């Protein structure tokens, strides 16, 4: 299985990038690919949507703390 960690998604409702990423997830829904997402704040509704598509949502700090965010992403 190939794993892909996709960039930031906010709440899955607002913004074109959020909608694009969720649409991409639906199109690529395959057992050979696992797509996970990063966010600054976990939205339970979005988390349940992603869980239904076998994806995870990881919470990391905002870009106000870039070094801390970098370390958190490396840990993931």
Of 55, 20, 16, 54, residue with least CA distance to 38: 55
State the average pLDDT over residues 12-22: 80
In tens, the pLDDT along 22-73 reads: 888 888 877 778 888 888 888 898 899 888 888 899 999 888 899 999 999 9
pTM: 0.79
Q: Count other Cβ atoms within 10 Å, centred on residue 22.
A: 19
Q: Do 46 and 19 form a contact (C-beta atoms < 8 A)?
A: no
**CB distance 42 to 12 below 8 Å:** no
């Amino acid at each position: 299985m190939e794993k892909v960690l996709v960039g930031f998604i906010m709440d899955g409702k607002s913004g074109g990038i959020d909608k694009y990423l969720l649409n991409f997830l639906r199109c690529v829904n395959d057992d050979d690919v696992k797509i996970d997402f990063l966010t600054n704040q976990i939205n339970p509704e979005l988390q349940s949507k992603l869980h239904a598509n076998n994806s995870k949502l990881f919470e990391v700090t905002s870009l106000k703390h870039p070094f801390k965010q970098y370390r958190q992403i490396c840990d993931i």
